[in-house]
Homo-oligomer: A and B are copies of this chain.
């Protein structure tokens, strides 16, 4: 049953980190969205039993912390494993046989930066979202009865299609439970409605820049995986500098 408007928490979509500061993060759950591929990979690693994922800003920090913790270092720059790191940013690197029980130190450009920005802006709570863990995110947000900020990592602050589509998918699910006075949310939901029957096909026909970028790197399987619903149904929550799997409430 849908709640009365007056009682409903608010939901906002932030299409680029450049406008994150316009929103009140202090009483909100902030969902970090970096579909290609940081938050898809994070969900996958935790789903496959990683003990924790530590997101860090730089390659140097990734090397330093992974050595310190005897952990796995991972991250890419321009579609290749960054020099000095062991693994990349593809979810296929993190199957259960490999990652179970281990700590992953991950550096990505857009997603990590946004997460730290949200933290610095006083976000009450931070989780990460992707199509891979779609239902876990939606179920969690519905149960919290708190304001929600869907924060798209975008691409160097430029709005991108994949993060917007994901935000739209979440908005569609939560529309009746939240007060949504936010054009970005309604726009994202409309786009998702257009795209939902074939997300990857939509990305292709709409000439989405990241689609072509990853296809150029030969990452077609990554793309398919990252647009598949609920193939890694774990909820990553950020606590004390680490993303860990939350068991469903």
Contact = CB atoms under 8 A, between A and B. Distances in A.
Which size bracket describes the interface of A in this complex?
A: 20 to 34
Nearest to A20: B18
A15 interface: yes
A239 interface: no
Interface string A149-188: 0000001111111001000000000000000111110110
A60 interface: no
A19 interface: yes
A77 B212 CA distance: 44
Contact of A182 (B15, B18, B209): B209
A190 interface: yes
This protein's copies in its complex? 2
A19 B186 contact: no
Interface string A16-51: 101100100000000000000000000000000000
Given A16-B18, A18-B19, A19-B18, A159 B181 contact: no
A210 B187 CA distance: 14
Interface of A: 15-16, 18-19, 22, 155-161, 164, 180-184, 186-187, 190-191, 194, 206-210
A194 B183 contact: no
Contacts of A183: 155, 158-161, 164, 206, 208-210
Given A164-B183, A182-B209, 14 more contacts: A16-B16, A22-B158, A158-B182, A159-B187, A160-B183, A164-B187, A180-B207, A183-B206, A183-B208, A186-B206, A186-B207, A190-B191, A190-B194, A191-B191
Nearest to A180: B207
A18 B15 CA distance: 11
Contacts of A181: 207, 209
Give the one of A15, A161, A187, A209 with max B CB within 10 A. A187
A98 B181 CA distance: 38
